[in-house]
Amino acid sequence: MQDLIKLDLVDLAIAIGLMAIAIGLSAWEKLGLELNLALATGRTILQLLVLGYVFDFIFALDNVWAVLAILAVMLTITAIVARNRISQKVPRVLPWVWGSIFVSTALTVLYSNFLIVQPERWYEPRYMIPLAGIVLGNAMNAAAIAGERLVNTINSSHLEIETHLSLGATPQQAVTQYRREAIRAGLIPTLNQMMLIGMVALPGITTGQLLAGVTPLEAVSYEILLMFMVAFANLLTTLLVTKGLCRQFFNSAAQLVR
């Protein structure tokens, strides 16, 4: 098998030419995106270079606490981003979002590592960090979509919810339909991706492995595993996040808090 073609600094500098052309096209068409494209280019280079050096250090260190530390940082950033997209007005959202994403990611990755991948050490950085990173990113999006849908729906449905409560429904019963709709909304992108994966475009992880020299069947096998991991983690995350959010809208007397 042919060795991986490595990209040096000259190659990356030439790659920046693509963004330079994009900035030129934006200026030519007077789109006003030149500054945004330039900033995005700079941030992409800086963030990915930092990520590369950090991961290179973590992989070389090969220490369980270092792996757990970097995963904790990734988890916290993920939870904050998801919370900000849901709402900053709802109290105590961040701890619940953090805990929900943590539980779903931990269960998913540990299940896959112990029963499927089975590396020599359960915390093997080569497997633990990429698998957890993919699950975290997708869980963040699912939590944000489901949470935002639920918060917006409850905020616009006070009359209906209070009517259910006045007729004897419990708080959970009063919002159960809204919660189900929010969970479905959070899972739609994942389900759509699973329905069309491999038919419309090559998935990112498969493309990366093919470029790295992995055989197509091996690359596809890992893609299947990752899609199942993402689907399970996203469902569990949306279940937990929406359950916690529902509790924030009611007081101890089962009254809707505006």
Q: What amino acid is encoded at 209 in this protein? A: Q
78, 137 Cβ separation under 8 angstroms: yes
How far is 141 from 81, CA to CA, in rounded Å? 9
Predicted local confidence at residue 36, as pLDDT: 95
**Rounded Cα distance, 231 and 82, in Å:** 18
Helix, strand or coil, per DSSP, at residue 256: strand
pLDDT band at 202 (very low <50, low <70, confident <90, very high): low
**DSSP 8-state secondary structure symbol assigned to residue 114:** I
Q: Helix H segments across the chain?
A: 9-28, 34-61, 64-86, 93-112, 125-155, 158-166, 171-196, 204-211, 216-248
Nearest CA to 207 among 196, 194, 223, 191? 223
Q: pTM for this one?
A: 0.86
Exposure on the CB side of residue 110, measured as CA atoms within 13 A: 7
Is residue 222 within 8 A of residue 134, CB to CB? The reply is no
Which of 62, 64, 101 minimizes the C-alpha distance to 82? 101
DSSP string, 142-183: HHHHHHHHHHHHHHT-HHHHHHHHHTT--HHHHHHHHHHHHH
- What gap in Å lies between CA 115 and CA 190, rounded to an integer? 23
pLDDT in tens, 154-167: 888 888 888 888 88
Which band of pLDDT confidence, cut at 50, 70 and 90, is reported for residue 42? Answer: very high
Pull the structure tokens for residue 18: 């693509």
Query: CA separation (Å) from 188 to 146, 158, 184?
Result: 10, 26, 6
pLDDT above 70 covers what percent of the chain?
Answer: 96
| pLDDT tens-digit readout, 78-110 | 999 999 988 766 777 888 999 999 999 999 999
Dist. CA 253–CA 232, nearest whole Å: 34
DSSP code of residue 115: I
Residue-level pLDDT at 258: 65
